[in-house]
Structure formats: structure tokens, C-alpha cells
Structure 1
Amino acid sequence: MNRRLKTLLIKTKRQVFSEMIGNNPSIFHGEGYDFSELREYQVGDDIRKIDWTITAKLRKPYVKLFHEERELSVVAACMMGGSLYFGTRRIKQEVVAEVAAILGYSAVKNGDLFTGAIVDTEVRRLEKPTKRLFSVNRFVEGVDSASVLGRRADYREGLHKLFKRLKRRSVLFVIGDFLSPVDLALLAKRHEVIAVIVRDRFEEHPSPLGQVHLVDPETGATLQTHFAQKSAAAYRAQVIESDKALYRHLRKHRIRFVKIHTDEEPFGRLVKLFGGRV
């Protein structure tokens, strides 16, 4: 394990075990529950628990009630493709590893089961569920050191193969840059899926670069081109349209998501996602 990763793990462990906000030890709200019954909506109920099918049939809002299970199954699926080997502050791959460490440490702290997965077009690695810090460290090191150049993260086929291998209903974090076409519908039917989008600001807001030599990190294809203001604007417009389609897909399947840039602290962004509890 290199010194940079050791420093990252020490910092992340301190954040999770020393800086946790709130007294409730359950961090992944909304999962780890068995269905109990339906009842009519009352003021103060979580609107995410509304059963819209029953509500439409009865013309009154109804919510699902659950019994809490003793432990959660938390899965971090790291989508490892060549596009992660990019970043102006630090490469996206390092941020993906840090997010996985935060989730793994948080699960262990709460006494929940943590499973790490490395996915591209295949499920390259699927750890056994664990409550041990050593196993979390080993998985994060695997994510940080994974060879991503020449590989493509497949958010459709790769994740469909992961679906077949996950037997237990879980809180499933899909972590990647989401620059490829996405289909999380199947996963969302069985699991509570949360998308963690890792991006570099430059790839969303590129500046004109003039004459450049570009290399596709997934295929190795090269291109000599003049990347001027017009090209930057066209690229930016394409990213915006792609992200609009991504957000529509996530909202359609009621998937929570958060975007973390390479110049941001992942811990703070995840705390905000969970309303002060990570």
C-alpha cells in the first residue's frame, strides 16, 4: 500500500469514526426494513414511503410501514473504466476509492455488512460480506490500484451481471463518472440504489486548448484536433444533454444521487446526501 493511500485511509477513518454527526447509528436511512403494512398518510410521514399505486387506486395517499432489520447489507459497486484516469486536482479513480472507504468504514462502524464490487463490462471482483476494517482496506486498495486504461465501465451489461450475483436485498451504491449509457432499472427493483457521480470540473466545463493530441483512455484511439471555443461549447452542450437524460432516468426509478467533483471532500457531500448522517 503506497503512502498516499495510507494517508487517505487514515483521514477517512478519522472522519467516519470521530466526526460522525448525530446520535443515530443507522446511517443508510430507508433500507434494511421488512414490509409490515399499509396505512393512510399522516402529516409528518416520509413522502418517499408513499405507495403511489395504492394511492391512485384509492384516491387517498397511503404509506408503507416497515419493521427494521437487525443489520443492513451495504454494497459499493465501483465502475472502473478508463475515463476514471483523468483529473485536474486528482484523478477520479482516487475519489472513487475514497468514497468506497467512507461507505465501508461507515458500515463497519454501524455493525452492518459491507460488500465491495469492482465492475466494468464484467464483475471483476466481488468481496464476501464483511464487518472487518481489514477487509474494507483491502478492497479500497484494490480499487485504488486497479488498472483502468483500456477498460470500459458498462452501466448496463456490467451491472446486470452484478444483479445476478447479489442475493440479498441491499443498499447499493453505484460509484463512477456515469459518462456511459446507464440502466439501473433492474437493480432498483430489488435494491435501494444510490448513484454517486464522480466528475472533474474540467470535463464538464472545458476551456479552449488549441491544437491538441487526444487519447481515448478506454480504446487507445488517438485524435489530432483543434479544440477551440466552438468545440468546447459543443462538447459542453453534449455533456448537459447527457446528464439531463441521466437525471431523468434516476428520478424515474426513484434513485437518490449525489455528484462529487475531484476538488471536493467526498465525506461532506455524503453527509449532505444523508441529511447529516454518514
Structure 2
Amino acid sequence: MRGRSNPESPRDATDDARDLLRRVRRIRLRTRQVVNDALAGQYHAAFKGRGMEFEEVRPYQIGDDVRSIDWNVSARLGDPHIKLFREERELTVVLAVDVSGSQAFGTTDRFKRDLVAEFAATVAFSAAMNNDKIGLLSFTDQVEGFVPPRKGTNQVMRIVRDLLAIRARGRGTDIGSAIEELDRVLRQRAVVFVVSDFLDEGWERSLLAARRRHDVVPVVITDPREHELPAMGLVEFTDPETGERTVVDTGRRRTRRRFEKATKDASERRDLALRRMRLDPLVLDTGSDFVEPLTAYFRRRERRRSR
């Protein structure tokens, strides 16, 4: 009687662990170089703390905001005095990350999931440098894992390891259910980065409900070939979430135009839904560096905050 072999030998498991460790170290090195003082400062300026705490009253100085003058104290002391407040800085930041099969797609030098891991590490290190708590909720069409928010570099590395090592049980995507679960387990207001390609439907109501309680940041992950189909003749496409295969004649101009129109319409519907919620999406592409759009997003938020 022939025995059934183990699909993953001890050597395979060891090789996988070593490969994971190399990938974690590579991402740590890359993102630690990105998260310099400037980016960490932009992150700090972009996101509000929990509130303002009274610090002191002092004499008015030229250049002070006249709106800060405490008129009662000024009348009592005979000179203009202003109230100073200190921001209660500590934030809770959660990365809600889509780890479904569609994240294994990529036509450039990296998959969507690689871009997601680097982006998540960058945000996590920025949070750690500002002494904020950082957590992770990974999801497909079900919740795959939850790392409760904590502070520190070790927490960042745990999040990166979990994202790189995850073997998802689900195959589809359900952003709405993930957001509902996150809203259930989070007891306090948080900055929630929802990281997905937003290709599924039915997430609008849950995202709107979460927006009322949390500071929600939609992060849309795209690939250049999702917008423009190259003319390559007959090509077999496999849906990474369902496994369904389809042969498409990409050499036909009509086929390419229909594809481009369908993807454009889907993007416009997504953007319209986010605008109605007054949410500003951060769009990242596997074919380009993510640092520039991330810093531009931080600056936009800072400008809105200072108005």
C-alpha cells in the first residue's frame, strides 16, 4: 500500500520560512528608508489627534492668533493674554487590507499584493514614529485575521509578516462585511485605511456607516493593464477569485474598446460613490512608485485640516 506524501515537506516549510524572512527584511529596509523625518512629519500633520487639551495662559505676543485671546483673563490682568492648547496626539490606525485572489494580479514588475505590503509597512512605520497605535484586519469574502492595534516597531513587523505569510481561506471579496466586523471590534475612533482594488460591489452602505464613526481613507490598488488591454492575439484570462478561465481575442479593436469602456465605467462608479460620501481616495498603481501619491495625499489632508 502506497503512503500518501505530505504536500509540504519539512524542507519546503523551512525554505518558505527563509523566503518570508528575506521578504520581510527587504520591505523593512525599503520602507524605513522611505519613512524619513519628512514623511513622518507629513503623516503627523495630515491626521488629527483625539482632541485639544488646555495647556496654559500666557501674555499675547505679536504674531499670535487674536482668536486665541482669553478676554476674561485679559480684563482681569489688564493685558491681552491667550489660551494655549496641546493636541492629544495619540491615534489608533488600522489597515483593513483585501488579501483576496485579485491581489495576486500584476503585469509590471510587482503584484498588487507586493505594492500593498510596501504601502502598509510605510503607513505602519509612520504611525510608529508618531507613537500611534497600528493594527491590521485582513479580509477576502470573510475576515482572515485581526491584529489588535498596538504601538512599536515590533507591531509593525508583525503586520508585515502577517500580510506576506497569509494563506487566505476565502476566494472572493466582501469589503462591506470586513468594515462591519472592524466597526464591531474597534471600541474607539480610528483612522481606517481600506486597501483594496474595490472591484466588488455592495460596499457603499458599510463604508458610509464606518465614515460616521471613523476617519476612513480608501486606498485603491490598480494595475496599468486594468485600464488598457494590449493587442496580443488570443489570450487566456483566469479570474484569480473564481478560477474561471476565458479566452479573449485581444487583437480585435472592438474587444479592447469594450474592455476599456467597462473598466472606465467601473472606476467612475467607484469614484462617484466615494465622492458622495465625501471621501478622498488614494489611488496607487503597480506600475509606478507609491511614495509621491502618498505624500501628495498627506499634503491635501493637511491643507483641508488647516482651513
What TM-score comes out, normalization by structure 2 length? 0.73
Aligned equivalent of 1:200, options 219, 223, 245: 223
**Secondary structure of the residue that 1:274 maps to in structure 2?**
helix
On the 8 A contact 1:86/1:92 being kept in 2, the answer is yes
Aligned equivalent of 1:164, options 171, 178, 184: 184
For structure 1, the 5+ residue unaligned runs are: 36-65
Aligned equivalent of 1:29, options 47, 61, 76: 47
**Secondary structure of the residue that 2:131 maps to in structure 1?**
coil
Does 2:264 correspond to 1:272? no
1:73 Cα shift?
Answer: 0.8
Give the partner amino acid of 1:172. Answer: V
On the 8 A contact 2:50/2:91 being kept in 1, the answer is yes
After TM superposition, the structure 1 stretch with the greater mean CA deviation from structure 2, 239-248 or 158-167, is 158-167
Identity percentage of aligned residues: 28
1:244 Cα shift?
Answer: 1.0
**Secondary structure of the residue that 1:174 maps to in structure 2?**
strand
Give the greater-gyration-radius structure (CA). Answer: 2
1:32 Cα shift?
Answer: 3.0
Does 2:245 correspond to 1:222? yes
For each residue in 1:129-181, what CA deviation from the matched residue of structure 2 results, as whole angstroms up to 9, or x when unmatched?
11121121121122123235961121222322222222211111001111112
Matches within 5 A, 1:120-139: 120-139=140-159
Aligned-residue Cα RMSD (Å) equals 2.6
Distance in 2 (CA, whole Å) between partners of 1:105 and 1:113 is: 10
**Secondary structure of the residue that 1:168 maps to in structure 2?**
coil
Distance in 2 (CA, whole Å) between partners of 1:29 and 1:107 is: 10
Distance in 2 (CA, whole Å) between partners of 1:25 and 1:186 is: 25
Give the partner amino acid of 2:268. Answer: K
More helix by share: 2
On the 8 A contact 2:42/2:299 being kept in 1, the answer is no
1:248 Cα shift?
Answer: 1.2
Distance in 1 (CA, whole Å) between partners of 2:141 and 2:300 is: 34
Give the partner amino acid of 1:134. Answer: N
Does 2:88 correspond to 1:69? yes
1:19 Cα shift?
Answer: 4.9
Distance in 1 (CA, whole Å) between partners of 2:165 and 2:184 is: 26
Hey, what does 1:98 align to over in structure 2? Answer: 118
Aligned equivalent of 2:233, options 190, 210, 213: 210
Distance in 1 (CA, whole Å) between partners of 2:42 and 2:271 is: 30
Give the partner amino acid of 2:50. Answer: G
Aligned equivalent of 1:185, options 204, 208, 231: 208
**Secondary structure of the residue that 1:197 maps to in structure 2?**
strand
Matches within 5 A, 1:220-259: 220-227=243-250, 228-259=252-283
Classify 1:200/1:25 alpha carbon distance in 2 versus 1 (closer, same or farther; 3 Å).
closer
Give the partner amino acid of 1:218. Answer: E
On the 8 A contact 2:100/2:171 being kept in 1, the answer is yes
Aligned equivalent of 1:110, options 126, 130, 135: 130
1:225 Cα shift?
Answer: 3.1
Between 1 and 2, higher relative CO (CA 8 Å, sep ≥ 6) is seen in: 1
**Count of residues paired in the alignment:** 248
Give the partner amino acid of 1:11. Answer: R
Aligned equivalent of 1:86, options 88, 92, 105: 105
For each residue in 1:158-215, what CA deviation from the matched residue of structure 2 results, as whole angstroms up to 9, or x when unmatched?
3222222222111110011111123211111111101111111111111123212221
For structure 2, the 5+ residue unaligned runs are: 1-19, 54-84, 303-307
Distance in 1 (CA, whole Å) between partners of 2:277 and 2:163 is: 27
1:266 Cα shift?
Answer: 1.9
Classify 1:124/1:104 alpha carbon distance in 2 versus 1 (closer, same or farther; 3 Å).
same
Classify 1:135/1:146 alpha carbon distance in 2 versus 1 (closer, same or farther; 3 Å).
same
